[in-house]
Chains A and B, each alone.
Chain A
């Protein structure tokens, strides 16, 4: 019973395409996040939603648009994909501010060719 599940696990697509990544958590957490991990392994916050409300929106190109239909789901849509978007995208969830830890999904490896 996976706590935070992401789909797809791998995504290979051409430049200019539009793609979505889905995330679902069954932990009953009220806060969800998208992190980007680049080739140097740095984990950088992109977005965060608390009870479906956007609370963190870092400096990310507006080609990236998150959507939270309910507090158990957080999706990420990316328009006009670029080579530099290639990375591993992790979804995570926490209860409240996360000071009891985050639980990460297994990641989506996005490769733009």
Chain B
């Protein structure tokens, strides 16, 4: 099955700086890569996603890039704010027919005011 590795496990940045979280996946047939943000005590919420036919996607201060050849994708957050502090999960859905979204182990992002 799919295996998703996520790094780093913790990340501290100064407010206003950028944060980058990286993930790799194992199944070359995977075609959908969402990112979820989970604030303390809350549910995971989808913040951005990318499909395998696209290399980059942006939504205001967040962007995701995908390198299908290397089988890795990254989340970029610019101009970080204290409210960006949360645990971020990358995920991947394996090839055709699979219903299983496999998550990375999460990155705890702390934005220091």
Contact = CB atoms under 8 A, between A and B. Distances in A.
Interface of A: 31, 33, 40-45, 48, 50, 55-56, 90, 94, 97-99, 101-107
B106 A42 contact: yes
- Interface of chain B: mostly helix, strand, loop or mixed: strand
Given A45-B101, A56-B100, A105 B46 contact: no
Interface stretch (B15-23, B37-45, B63-71, B72-80): B37-45
Given A41-B87, A42-B106, A104 B101 contact: no
Nearest to B87: A41
A102 B46 contact: yes
A107 B101 CA distance: 18
B100 A104 contact: no
Contacts of A105: 43
A42 B99 contact: no
Contacts of A42: 103, 105-106
Given A97-B98, A99-B51, A101-B49, A106 B103 contact: no
Interface in B1-57: 31-32, 34, 38, 42-46, 49, 51
Contact of A48 (B38, B42, B99, B106): B99
- Say which size band chain B's interface belongs to: 20 to 34
A50 B93 CA distance: 16
A90 B46 contact: no
Given A41-B108, A99-B31, A104-B43, 11 more contacts: A41-B106, A42-B106, A45-B101, A48-B99, A55-B99, A56-B99, A90-B43, A90-B44, A97-B97, A99-B93, A102-B34
B75 to A, nearest CB: 15
Interface in B95-113: 97-103, 105-106, 108
Contacts of B100: 45, 48, 56
B110 to A, nearest CB: 14
Given A41-B106, A98-B93, A99-B31, A50 B99 contact: yes
A90 B36 CA distance: 14
Given A45-B101, A55-B99, A98-B101, A104 B93 contact: no
